[in-house]
A and B are shown apart, each in its own frame.
Chain A
Amino acid sequence: MKILLKSAIVVTSMAVLVVPPIREAAAQSGNNRPASPASRPSFSVGKQASLPEHAKFAPEQIKDGSALFTQNCAFCHGKDAGGGESGPDLTRSKLVSADKNGEGIGQVIRHGRMEKGMPSFGSLSDNDVVALVAFVHAQQDAAMSQTGTRKGVEESDLQTGNAQAGKQYFQGTGGCASCHSPTGDLAGVATRYTGLKLLEQMLYPKEVKAKVKVTTRSGQTFNGVLEYRDEFTIGLRDSSGLYRSWPTAAIKFDIDDPVEKHVDIMSRYTDDDMHNVLAYLQTMK
Chain B
Amino acid sequence: MHRYKSLASISLAMLFSALVPGAAVAQQVDANMLLHPPADSWPIYHGDYSGRRNTALVEINQRNVSGMTLAWTFQAQSSQTIKSSPILVDGILYFTLPDNIYAIDARSGHQLWHYTAPPNHAFHIGQRGVSILKDKIYYMSTDAHALCLDAKTGKVLWDVVVGDSNAGNWSTMPPLIVNNHVVVGISGDFDNLQGFIRSLDPETGATQWTWYATLPVGTPKMTTGGNVWMMGTYDPEQNLMFWGTGNPTPVLNGKPRPGDNLYTCSIVALNPETGKLAWAFQPSPHDTHDWDAVETPVLADVDFKGVKHKVLMQASRNGYFFVVDRTTGKALITEPFGPVNWTLGVDKDGRPIPNPAKEPAPDGRLIAPDEGGMTNYRAPSFDPKTGLFIVSASPSYSVYFAKPADGTYGWAGADYGVWNKGVLEAIDYRTGKIRWEHDLGRRAGSGVLTTASGLTFSGDGEGNFLGLETATGRTLWHAGTGANIASSPISYQLDGHQVILMSSGSVLYAFRLPEQIGVATKKPRGMK
B290 contacts the other chain (CB 8 A): yes
Q: Give chain B interface residues in 350-378, CB to chain A under 8 Å.
A: 357, 361-366, 368, 371-372
B80 to A: closest C-beta gap in Å = 8
Q: Quick one: which of A70, A82, A274 contacts B364, CB cutoff 8 A?
A: A274
Cα A159 to Cα B364 with chains together (Å) = 11
Cα A122 to Cα B403 with chains together (Å) = 36
B397 in contact with A203 (CB, 8 Å): yes
Q: Which of A84, A149, A262 has the most CB of B within 10 A?
A: A84
B16 contacts the other chain (CB 8 A): no
A182 contacts the other chain (CB 8 A): no
Residue of A at shortest CB range from B362? A157
A151 / chain B contacts, CB cutoff of 8 Å: 403, 405-407
Q: Give chain A interface residues in 190-215, CB to chain B under 8 Å.
A: 196, 199-200, 203-204
Q: Quick one: which of A78, A120, A274 contacts B190, CB cutoff 8 A?
A: A78
Q: Quick one: which of A199, A231, A263, A274 contacts B475, CB cutoff 8 A?
A: A231
Interface secondary structure of B, over-half rule: loop
A266 contacts the other chain (CB 8 A): yes
B480 / chain A contacts, CB cutoff of 8 Å: 232
B121 in contact with A204 (CB, 8 Å): no
A54 to B: closest C-beta gap in Å = 23
B404 contacts the other chain (CB 8 A): yes
Cα A209 to Cα B368 with chains together (Å) = 24
A204 / chain B contacts, CB cutoff of 8 Å: 397, 418-419
Residue of B at shortest CB range from A267? B339
A86 in contact with B417 (CB, 8 Å): yes
Could you mark each residue 231-264 of chain A with 1 if its beta carbon is under 8 Å from any beta carbon of chain B, else 0? 1100000000000000000000000000000110
A160 in contact with B363 (CB, 8 Å): yes
A85 contacts the other chain (CB 8 A): yes
B441 in contact with A229 (CB, 8 Å): yes
B439 contacts the other chain (CB 8 A): yes
Q: Quick one: which of B122, B290, B363 contacts A275, CB cutoff 8 A?
A: B363
A231 / chain B contacts, CB cutoff of 8 Å: 439, 441, 460, 464, 466, 475, 478
Q: Quick one: which of B78, B363, B417 contacts A157, CB cutoff 8 A?
A: B363
Q: Quick one: which of A71, A269, A275 contacts B123, CB cutoff 8 A?
A: A71
A85 / chain B contacts, CB cutoff of 8 Å: 290, 371-372
B339 / chain A contacts, CB cutoff of 8 Å: 266-267
Check A152/B366 contact, CB under 8 A, given A229-B441, A231-B460, A266-B419: no
Residue of B at shortest CB range from A112? B79
B507 to A: closest C-beta gap in Å = 15
A118 / chain B contacts, CB cutoff of 8 Å: none
A106 to B: closest C-beta gap in Å = 15
A200 / chain B contacts, CB cutoff of 8 Å: 399, 416, 418
Check A78/B411 contact, CB under 8 A, given A149-B404, A229-B441: yes
Q: Which of B419, B439, B461 has the most CB of A within 10 A?
A: B419
Cα A199 to Cα B341 with chains together (Å) = 19
Q: Quick one: which of B363, B368, B411, B484 contacts A158, CB cutoff 8 A?
A: B363
B341 in contact with A158 (CB, 8 Å): no
Q: How large is the interface on A (under 10, 10 to 19, 20 to 34, 35 or more residues)?
A: 35 or more
A79 contacts the other chain (CB 8 A): yes
Could you mark each residue 431-471 of chain B with 1 if its beta carbon is under 8 Å from any beta carbon of chain A, else 0? 00000000101000000000000000000111010100000
Residue of B at shortest CB range from A156? B362
Cα A164 to Cα B164 with chains together (Å) = 53
B414 contacts the other chain (CB 8 A): yes
B124 / chain A contacts, CB cutoff of 8 Å: 71-72
Q: Give chain A interface residues in 73-95, CB to chain B under 8 Å.
A: 74-75, 78-79, 82-86, 88-89
B440 to A: closest C-beta gap in Å = 8
B405 / chain A contacts, CB cutoff of 8 Å: 148-151
Cα A119 to Cα B466 with chains together (Å) = 23
Cα A271 to Cα B356 with chains together (Å) = 13
B285 contacts the other chain (CB 8 A): no
Residue of B at shortest CB range from A263? B419
- Chosen A-B contacts, 27 in total, with CB atoms closer than 8 Å, are A70-B121, A71-B122, A71-B123, A75-B125, A78-B411, A82-B414, A119-B79, A121-B79, A122-B79, A123-B79, A148-B405, A151-B405, A152-B406, A153-B364, A157-B364, A159-B363, A161-B363, A196-B416, A200-B418, A204-B397, A231-B439, A232-B478, A263-B419, A266-B397, A271-B357, A271-B363, A271-B364
Enumerate chain B interface residues (CB-CB to A < 8 A).
Answer: 78-79, 81, 120-125, 168, 190, 290, 339, 341, 357, 361-366, 368, 371-372, 397, 399, 401, 403-407, 410-411, 414, 416-419, 439, 441, 460-462, 464, 466, 475, 478, 480, 484
15 A-B pairs besides A119-B79, A157-B401 with CB distance below 8 A are: A71-B122, A74-B123, A75-B125, A88-B416, A119-B484, A123-B78, A153-B364, A153-B414, A157-B363, A158-B363, A159-B363, A199-B399, A230-B461, A231-B439, A271-B366
Enumerate chain A interface residues (CB-CB to B < 8 A).
Answer: 67-68, 70-72, 74-75, 78-79, 82-86, 88-89, 119-123, 148-153, 157-161, 196, 199-200, 203-204, 229-232, 262-263, 266-267, 269, 271, 274-275
Closest 8 interchain pairs by CB?
A123-B79, A149-B405, A230-B462, A67-B121, A160-B363, A75-B125, A203-B418, A204-B419
